[in-house]
Structure 1
């Protein structure tokens, strides 16, 4: 049994991602590392291990048991190992209590060495991870996976390369040349996000999991309460507890608020996270279509329900918790899209969105408890709820491909180009129209059932939407579907090639390097317009497809600025000789391995913002011309900000010439 448990634990290690440095006091193995230069391209990595009394570290691999020996690894394709990790002295043969056999292991203090060869430029330092397993009697078995930085003699500090400079000493956010723009703009107000959550909650109310609960729950309060006042109090408490549960559910995200600020953007644009949401949405959609019933384990709902009858206030709380749990199959997808869509805006945005959701879900229970006669005006539960559920299923299918598109864009897989994405939405809209008119039968649909006028109207709208989408798969001037800006991939991400921009007039001229923009700014005597953007950024696409194409705006950007777009979510790996470790002022370190790592850190360090889009105007010396601005859908307002940047640039030129 011990052996089976150990093997299972080993198999799960890649997913557990345990790191010893998070709790060094608990680690049975302490270690230090240094490098010794052998030749111009060869080094010895020397590790001194101190192993806790009673513990041992495996010196050789246990092939049959899947246990790796102590070793060093790194994430750098230019670095190859020469031979295996060797100890200064041979390991001891001892009886292992985990696998109940003789093993070769290290105990006490030991030194191990790994020789490495470096193909290209020698970096100033590299990150090295110590891996292996430690065990002790009677049954303690722990993985070793801890990373440390080691300096290499004669190495070049890539972070000092002008192209890799992160922190600009020329930026003074409080004192731009002209105080235009918004000194403390909010990418999207918390109130707006609250309203989005509120709308999501209203939609959830119409689902079969929630709607039938309204009259049942309110009747329970009115029948069990001795007075109308008590019924109102209980109903209001019930609604408040629903709000509280959803608001508190965002609590774990606040625990991440002390780490690197761009972590929320990394979560929202992570390819595997988006694929996870894609799969979840598809599963929920299939369930909503009626092919199977998706519910949480009965034991979870049962435990909450069993406590709903105990006490007064506590009983009402558990009734609210029961509703939240049992309605999850309907509310989960709506809530999931809110979480995924707003994760990049930070923890308070999630709290605002989930609070709005909780208010919308809890408000009817409080209102109907106050005015029980309103219950008579509610439509009866019936087939229309099944229709709502299946309509939501089609919507979920469409939204699912948005998540898959996010993953495809940030990883540059090229499997879901703009026209393919729009084609899937056309098929989804046609399927929805066919269902609403009764031509497409889904589980639990009855042949010959009467189609209501409302269904027919919605069916016409679905077909009209499909027709509206058709130009989006063409190269015509109508391919820019402005009503959907931000949802499909950008116009340049096309099966027709990068020049498929249909009058956008800007994107083909964009630079993607701040260093090159700085050089051109000095050569052409133009200010720099930095566009902090993201492949998965909806508001960025809206700006690019609705504001930038305006002739007045595009003329200013093309003729008077050097435009540089920096993608903060781009997962493309930087060349090996351009990767480096960035050190924050407080001592924290961050590996800069991808394009997104570089520009997200650049944005956060210089402009104290981690949301996109963010527009910044600088002169050729890197001096801030105006306050940065975010999402600005008003064309005139954005144009005025651009003109203010030109005015500020001309002012700096005049002042320089006068000196």
Structure 2
């Protein structure tokens, strides 16, 4: 009996092993290939074509309708080459074996400038029933060599300082200097340069001789000294910022500094109104005149000082070209090329100011009643500049009240209430004075009502009443932007399960306000921001933590917008510096998702 049981056990073990072995063999037969084994992809340039070869393993196929070709450089395009005839499988058109597609490079280079990324996307399945996830393969190709003007046109639209650094490193010194001169010309067309025009014009007016009209040569010389001082200041600031990491321009936004120089502009305005004269002592004027062959040297020192102060106080907002030069200096230590780039860029920015000097001697009216009016007009501009500077440290309501007083005072100065008969231009001047009066009164009433918008002074009367709780929410939201540190910022980024946008700004930054009022509220931008976590960091206080955050991400000044993917990885190639128009920012967000 015992022997019989042993035999049965042995037989059961034998049959079990046979059955298990057969099952394992069946499993081996059903083993599926990995995507890399199933599909071999190659894309190479052969002459004037990019030849893509898709090689499929045995019993593997690709669906014709899933095959897509794309190229991406300064823009993204979809390519639609002709494909060979496919075969039918279960009602679908598929390819098996080897598929070769040739695409002429001209179809790409005619639409994309410079280097580009070529991508092929497809989806395939095994005949046994397994369908693979969509596969995308990308390849880098050299594009058509850009010409000088094509490179400049491309970089002029670039908002990423790091990419401008790449140009500085890889291009010749001559091209770099020429590029930055063009950048300067482009920056001269932005609103940031406009405040310098009345400053320079008032200097030219104040230095004209009392008996004769200013010569073109003298006016141009004054402008040249002003622009040269401005350029030297930018160069020094850029070199210091790049070599030691100091942000001198941020230091010049200190309330005491702004208040002091606002007072200087007020004093200059009163001088232009004729209440007193500002000038160097006679002994110093005599020495300066003696040191120069002509009278042009008389106001060199004051003109140079005003040019330097204008660069620091009312100069252009931080933009990508400036940040690019500063980053280049800090990364490479090549202060010579970086400083020269900043200098030629500043001279480019000063071109409109030199044109002011050229035209001043020719078009300025001769001494007399008109000259007095011109001086008074520049005086008003000086007061406007003082308010503009103080707006960086005063509340919006207080700033609005100062603008109201300026417009009302200007209207009274223009004789809006005087009963004088006039014809032609005088009547138009009275109309302008009345407009100033009405607008100033509107701002005055708006400021008293608690309005903050220069464009909508009656917003408190036309919109629903804001409750105390709502105002508290606004105050709380404002305060939530303050007090950031590297640790706090990184913690909030890590807590997000979406890509992150971080906006670095401050109250004294004009471009930051433009982003808040123009770009961020745009409907297209808001739609794209739904896919991101948006973090706003206020750097107005310029604390050690604020400086540490800028240093952590290699940034200089504001505004700067940086990006992180959903895995919290920093994307420096996506960073933006300076003001970005809404449509451009919306596209940038879409490409970053």
TM range (shorter): 0.5 to 0.7
Query: After superposition, where does 1:192-341 map in structure 2 within 5 Å?
Result: 192-195=186-189, 200-201=196-197, 204-205=200-201, 208-210=205-207, 216=213, 218=215, 239=220, 243-244=224-225, 246-248=227-229, 250-251=231-232, 254-256=235-237, 257-258=239-240, 259-308=243-292, 315=293, 318-322=294-298, 324=300, 336-341=309-314
**Change beyond 3 A, Cα 1:280–1:357:** farther
Query: After superposition, where does 1:132-143 map in structure 2 within 5 Å?
Result: none
- Aligned residue for 1:636? 583
Of 421, 437, 452 in structure 2, the residue corresponding to residue 463 of structure 1 is 437
1:520-567: per-residue Cα shift (whole Å, max 9, x none)? 44444112211111121111011101221223323433x332222223
Residues 1:570 and 2:541 are matched in the alignment: yes
Distance 1:192 1:334 in 2: 20
Distance 1:286 1:297 in 2: 19
Distance 2:531 2:481 in 1: 13
- Aligned residue for 1:401? 387
Name the stretch that deviates more: 391-400 or 182-191. 182-191
> Which secondary structure state, in structure 2, belongs to the residue aligned with residue 293 of structure 1?
coil
Following superposition, the deviation at residue 643 of structure 1 comes to 1.9
Distance 2:469 2:309 in 1: 33
> Which secondary structure state, in structure 2, belongs to the residue aligned with residue 275 of structure 1?
helix
Q: CA RMSD in A?
A: 4.5
Following superposition, the deviation at residue 292 of structure 1 comes to 1.8
Distance 1:359 1:395 in 2: 19
Distance 1:215 1:287 in 2: 20
Of 382, 394, 404 in structure 2, the residue corresponding to residue 426 of structure 1 is 404
Distance 1:292 1:552 in 2: 54
Aligned 8 A contact 1:238 1:319 in 2: no
Of 519, 539, 546 in structure 2, the residue corresponding to residue 599 of structure 1 is 546
Of 427, 430, 442 in structure 2, the residue corresponding to residue 453 of structure 1 is 427
> Which secondary structure state, in structure 1, belongs to the residue aligned with residue 407 of structure 2?
helix
Residues 1:618 and 2:537 are matched in the alignment: no
Following superposition, the deviation at residue 392 of structure 1 comes to 3.0
**Change beyond 3 A, Cα 1:449–1:351:** farther
Distance 2:249 2:470 in 1: 26
Aligned 8 A contact 1:613 1:630 in 2: yes
Aligned 8 A contact 1:267 1:344 in 2: no
Paired positions, count:
380
Following superposition, the deviation at residue 353 of structure 1 comes to 7.7
- Aligned residue for 2:532? 561
- Aligned residue for 1:387? 373
- Aligned residue for 1:352? 347
Query: After superposition, where does 1:169-184 map in structure 2 within 5 Å?
Result: 182=160, 183-184=162-163
Of 522, 535, 552 in structure 1, the residue corresponding to residue 524 of structure 2 is 552
**Change beyond 3 A, Cα 1:529–1:275:** same
**Change beyond 3 A, Cα 1:519–1:570:** same
**Change beyond 3 A, Cα 1:362–1:625:** closer
**Change beyond 3 A, Cα 1:542–1:397:** same
**Change beyond 3 A, Cα 1:397–1:555:** same
Following superposition, the deviation at residue 399 of structure 1 comes to 2.6
Structure holding more helix per residue: 2
Query: After superposition, where does 1:480-495 map in structure 2 within 5 Å?
Result: 480-481=453-454
Aligned 8 A contact 2:230 2:307 in 1: no
- Aligned residue for 2:315? 342
Following superposition, the deviation at residue 626 of structure 1 comes to 4.6
Aligned 8 A contact 1:198 1:353 in 2: no
**Change beyond 3 A, Cα 1:325–1:357:** farther
Please tell me whether Structure 1 or Structure 2 has the larger radius of gyration of its CA atoms: 2
Unaligned runs of 5+ in 1: 1-179, 219-234, 309-314, 369-374, 409-415, 441-446, 485-493, 572-593, 647-659
Distance 1:357 1:267 in 2: 27
> Which secondary structure state, in structure 2, belongs to the residue aligned with residue 615 of structure 1?
strand
Following superposition, the deviation at residue 432 of structure 1 comes to 0.7
> Which secondary structure state, in structure 2, belongs to the residue aligned with residue 564 of structure 1?
strand
Distance 1:208 1:449 in 2: 29
**Change beyond 3 A, Cα 1:390–1:425:** same
Aligned 8 A contact 1:269 1:569 in 2: no
Unaligned runs of 5+ in 2: 1-157, 166-179, 323-338, 458-465
**Change beyond 3 A, Cα 1:505–1:275:** closer
**Change beyond 3 A, Cα 1:508–1:483:** same
**Change beyond 3 A, Cα 1:463–1:184:** farther
Name the stretch that deviates more: 625-634 or 537-546. 625-634
